Amino acid sequence: MSENGPLGAAEKVLSSAHRHGHGLREVNEKLADLVSSLRDQKERLARYSPAGAPPASGGPAEAPPGTGAPARPLGAELALAREAMELARREHEEIRERLAEIQEANRRLCEEYAALQDQNSDLVNLYVAVQRLYGAADRADVLAAIQEIVANLVGSEELAVFELSGDGNRLVPAHAFGVEPPDPREIAVGSGTVGRVAAEGVAFVADEADAAARPDPPHLTACIPLELGGRVRGALAIYGLLGHKSSLGSLDRELLALLQKHAARALRASALGERTEAGLGEGAWSG
């Protein structure tokens, strides 16, 4: 076959076509590889899309029925559930701590409220005691007030009020309640517990006294000096307490301190009032 004849030309065309065909086949194959690679890439991208995460194990979780949402992998569901549980546990712990704080605050408030109620109660008793002493119309009324305060607020129905005699050497009974005769008797100042209280001006309370210093008389629970103008003018002796009362408390001591400072003044005020009204002579509570 001649290279320049029509056959030669055809062979050239065929050869050229063959070369082009081969090139096209190669291009086609490369395109097929590219398309395959793109499909793989697309699938990987689909798996890593925001709607899901790569599965740790197993396949993807089923999408909620009817939502049409992409399936969520089980591992992601588990991680989310764990995170939610941890959050709930922390919130629960915080609530428990807050509740404990509130309970503690509530307990403190209850204690403070109870203490305030007790304090209020004590103040009422002290207020009423003062009102009774200074609201009394006369000497007998003041003595009755002292008796009522001791009986109803302190808790003793055995008591005696003594006045200092004019010469200052004796304690003379002015009023008694629940004390069997011949008591109360006149007492020399300095003699026995009541006499010593009058001499020294220091209150005696059996609960506070030295165990070796037994009261005289032995059933004396407390004895206070009745003071006026810095001087002892008498004494109040309290013997047995009511059966259901075992000892003197803090309020009782406050009431005794109040009587120590104010009973003599109230008696003097009543004496002055009576003297003014009746023109009687001075007694132990005047001057």
Partner 1 sequence: MNDQPESLNGFAAGAPGGSKPGAAGARRKILIVDDSETVLLVERAFLSRSYDVVTARNGQEGVDKAVAERPDLILMDVVMPRLNGFDAVSRLRSHPATKRIPVIMVTTRGELDNVESGYRSGCNDYLTKPFHGPELLAKVKGCLGE
Residues that bind partner 1 (CB under 8 A): 114, 117-118, 120-121, 123-125, 127-129, 131-132, 145, 148-149, 151-155, 157, 242-245
- CA 65 to chain centroid: 55
Kindly state the smallest distance separating residue 215's Cβ from partner 1, in Å: 22
Task: For partner 1, give the closer residue by CB, 59 or 243.
Answer: 243
Q: Which residue lies nearer to partner 1 by CB, 132 or 196?
A: 132
Residues in the chain: 287
What minimum distance in Å lies between the beta carbon of 242 and partner 1?
A: 6
**Closer of 145 and 223 to partner 1 (Cβ):** 145
The 3-class SS string of the chain reads: CCCCCHHHHHHHHHHHHHHHHHHHHHHHHHHHHHHHHHHHHHHHHHHCCCCCCCCCCCCECCCCCCCCCCCCEHHHHHHHHHHHHHHHHHHHHHHHHHHHHHHHHHHHHHHHHHHHHHHHHHHHHHHHHHHHHHHCCCHHHHHHHHHHHHHHHHCCCCEEEEEECCCCCEEEEEEEECCCCCCCCCEECCCHHHHHHHHHCCCEECCCCCCCCCCCCCCCCEEEEEEECCEEEEEEEECCCCCCCCCCCHHHHHHHHHHHHHHHHHHHHHHHHHHHHHCCCCCCCCC
Minimum distance from CB of 267 to partner 1 (Å)?
17
Give the residue with the Cβ less far from partner 1, 99 or 116: 116
State the nearest-atom distance from the C-beta of 133 to partner 1, in Å: 10
Nearer to partner 1, 48 or 113 (CB): 113
Residue 170 or 245: which CB sits closer to partner 1? 245
Residue closer to partner 1 (CB basis): 138 or 148 = 148
Q: State the nearest-atom distance from the C-beta of 243 to partner 1, in Å.
A: 6
Q: How far is the CB of 232 from partner 1 (least distance, A)?
A: 25
Shortest distance, position 224 Cβ to partner 1, whole Å: 17
